[in-house]
């Protein structure tokens, strides 16, 4: 379970590192960014994984979100993996689209060829990456939270809902909450999973909400988000949570769009949310 250091940088008393390792689950080299807070010098610290959105990489969150200062203060280790497998032989969108294939793994295990060989991000994130982190960093894997943005919000919600014993906390920025009912999800799920709608529902947060019954979720959504009505539809997840007995804090913000200025504005609230539960 080797891990190659690409670069490492001092930051707020801790370190930001960019790493690469050969992943069995995705059958390719995967990259991940890790912020190790200064408190790790005295023992293992809680782990908060961030899943980025369409077209993003392992660098996006640590560079753009402005989260590292408060993570250092709170003693949170931040894990930011890439959004899809990449490299020679990894297929992308044959039509050249940006919302499927490379950079758009949708955090699932593909079952349709040719994507089933490499696009196994669900297994990578729930099994292989945590073991790699535990082997190489001062991480307390009994205290894990997860959050994400857009496609990554979809990933964070579904990973948490499917693995409630693994994750103590979950939150999201502008997540795709009902992918089986929106164009992004329909395209991705057809390509990765085929036409079986039952397989689609296994990766739909609105369908999975009952698995988080009795617990809390935080979501922030900008009302100037140009994807809000067609692709995101937070009201569907809101209704599912109300029915399932999930305490959902869904904050709607006038004037905010879908990008990282929005994420920067509210990321401190999310870090404190997770820290209180980890």
From the candidates 150, 154, 171, 220, give the one annotated as an active-site residue.
Answer: 150
Q: Using omega within 30 degrees of 0 as the cis cutoff, is the peptide bond preceding 114 cis?
A: yes
Q: Is 25 considered catalytic here?
A: no
List the one residue out of 159, 257, 134 whose CA is nearest residue 217. 159
Catalytic residue of the set 149, 225, 270, 274: 225
Q: Of the listed 118, 149, 258, 270, which one is catalytic?
A: 258
pTM comes to 0.98
Question: Which tens digit of pLDDT belongs to each residue from 146-173?
Answer: 999 999 999 999 999 999 999 999 999 9
Percent of the chain at pLDDT above 90? 100
Determine whether 150 is an active site residue. yes
> What mean pLDDT is predicted for residues 55-66?
98
Q: What is the pLDDT of residue 40?
A: 97
What pLDDT digit, counting tens, does each position of 240-256 carry? 999 999 999 999 999 99
Residue 123 reports pLDDT greater than 90: yes
**According to the model, what pLDDT value does residue 162 have?**
98
Instruction: State pLDDT tens for residues 195-220.
Output: 999 999 999 999 999 999 999 999 99
Q: What is the pLDDT of residue 1?
A: 74
Query: Residue 225 catalytic?
Result: yes
Per-residue pLDDT at 30: 98
Angle 16-20-24 from CA coordinates, rounded to 5°:
135
Q: Could you give the angle at the alpha carbon of 115 between the alpha carbons of 109 and 121, nearest 5°?
A: 30
Question: How far is the first Cα of the chain from the last one, in angstroms, to the nearest whole number?
Answer: 26
């Amino acid at each position: 379970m080797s891990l190659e250091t690409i670069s490492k940088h001092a930051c707020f008393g801790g370190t930001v590192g960019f790493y690469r390792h050969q992943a069995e689950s995705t059958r390719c080299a995967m990259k991940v960014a890790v912020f190790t807070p200064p408190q790790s010098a005295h023992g293992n610290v809680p782990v908060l994984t961030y899943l980025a959105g369409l077209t993003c990489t392992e660098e996006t969150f640590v560079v753009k979100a402005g989260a590292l200062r408060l993570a250092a203060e709170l003693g949170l280790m931040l894990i930011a993996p890439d959004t899809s497998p990449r490299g020679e032989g990894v297929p992308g969108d044959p039509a050249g689209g940006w919302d499927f294939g490379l950079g758009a793994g949708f955090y699932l295990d593909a079952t349709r060829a040719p994507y089933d060989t490499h696009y196994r991000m669900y297994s990578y994130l729930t099994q292989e990456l945590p073991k790699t982190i535990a082997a190489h960093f001062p991480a307390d894997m009994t205290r894990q939270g997860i959050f994400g943005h857009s496609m990554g919000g979809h990933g964070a919600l579904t990973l948490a809902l499917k693995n409630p014993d693994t994750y103590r906390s979950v939150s999201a920025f502008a997540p795709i909450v009902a992918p089986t009912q929106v164009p992004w999800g329909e395209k991705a799920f057809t390509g990765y999973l085929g036409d079986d709608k039952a397989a689609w529902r296994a990766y739909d947060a609105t369908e999975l909400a009952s698995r988080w019954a009795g617990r809390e979720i935080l979501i922030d959504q900008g009302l100037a988000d140009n994807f809000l009505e067609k692709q995101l539809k937070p009201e569907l997840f809101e209704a599912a949570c109300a029915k399932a007995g999930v305490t959902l804090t869904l904050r709607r913000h006038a004037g905010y769009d879908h990008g990282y200025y929005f994420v920067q504005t509210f990321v401190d609230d999310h870090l404190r949310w997770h820290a209180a539960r980890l």
